[in-house]
A = this chain, B = another copy of it.
Amino acid sequence: MAELRLDPITREWVNIATERGKRPSDFHHREEARLVRTRDHSRCPFCPGNEKMTGQDLLRYGTDRDWSLRVVRNKFPAFSGSGEAARTRYGLYESMPAVGAHEVIIETPYHNKSLSRLPVAQVKLVIQAYRERYLALQKNARLKYILIFRNHGKVAGASIEHAHSQIIATPVIPQVARARIEGLQRYDAERHACAYCDMIEQELDAGERLVVQNSSFVALAPYAARYPFETWILPKERNAQFVSVTELQMSDLAAILKETLLRLDLCLGDPPYNFMLLTTDFSDQFHWHIEIIPRLSIAAGFELGTAIYLNTVAPEQAATFLRAVNFPKQTAH
């Protein structure tokens, strides 16, 4: 099992997962190591026919042999097991076992389909699977935080080409998650409002950073975007918890997520990206949303040292480019 270790100064946790451990020589041929693991679909663990490579399904839409989506355990879990997350002291240090869960949502049986190119109905299945697995993991009281995320492209950390998202449940609340709540509380204390709600109102009014909207959601380039073409998707109606989404909202989310990813895809030539679905169990003071981060720039020494990001594309400019994307109507649905 992996181990969580606490930095005694920053109080940030790290996960030391040596089961994935590597020797120095593994790092010598870095360029090749970053190639996507398989081009031979017959050996892709996420393709139909290879189900035995991934172990028991945690969730499946469809039948054993004719499925449209599956959720399985990650073969190299960063968090696993259901024991107690007891802390151990070692001089000035602290550690705990990295108990939790690490699951993979196989978004489609088709090897070559990326999320932006799937039909909206299939994207909605993906969102439904997020919700079902979130609710299942939420039942384990020892798990304190759940992150749904997606890595697309090798530069964004995807090691398998076949379209998939991931869910990780951790026994600790990440400091950044607490910091976001504190930021919202500070804003609320000053202005008696939700900062995300105010942001949506101001952005809909200004329009310059707006990418696209529908009746339930808005996609925008955030004012203080850290990365070129960073794009957020927020529900217009405030709710701390993603799992509160209604059937209708899931349809709207599927439509805007697909359209936003497709605009990024067409505008930037299928860029590598990560997205994170940020939600919370531990506070009502949140406004769940999705942050999409295209990986077009490199965080170098200045960013690592200061966490002040250098962004070479103004969000207003990025939004203008994304709004201007022309795509055949049939690719949108």
* Residue ranges of A at the interface with B (Cβ–Cβ < 8 Å): 4-18, 20-24, 27-28, 30, 34, 78, 90-93, 145, 147, 149-151, 155-158, 166, 168, 170, 172, 174-177, 179-180, 183-184, 187, 191, 195-196, 198-199, 202, 206, 222-226, 228-229, 267-269, 271-272, 274-276, 278, 291, 293-294, 296, 298-302, 304-315, 317, 321
Q: Which residue of chain B has the shortest Cβ distance to A199 in the bound complex?
A: B92
Please give, as numbers and ranges, the residues of chain B lying within 8 Å of A168 by CB-CB distance.
302, 306
A interface secondary structure, majority: mixed
Chain B residues whose CB sits within 8 angstroms of the CB of A274 once the complex forms: 300-301, 304
Chain B residues with Cβ under 8 A from A151's Cβ? 300-301
Q: Other CB < 8 Å A-B pairs besides A155-B298, A168-B306, A174-B306, 5 of them?
A: A14-B225, A14-B226, A14-B310, A18-B312, A21-B317
Q: In the complex, which residues of chain B have a beta carbon less than 8 angstroms from the beta carbon of A158? A: 300
Inter-chain contact A28/B268, CB cutoff 8 Å:
yes
Question: Nearest chain-B residue to A78 (Cβ)?
Answer: B310
CA distance A149 to B300 in the complex (A): 9
**Contact residues in B for A187 (Cβ distance below 8 Å):** 8-9, 92
What is the CA–CA distance of A8 and B295 in the complex, to the nearest angstrom? 23
Q: Which of B12, B17, B304 contacts A307 (CB 8 A)?
A: B12
Closest to A276 in B: B305
Are B321's CB and A24's CB within 8 A?
A: yes
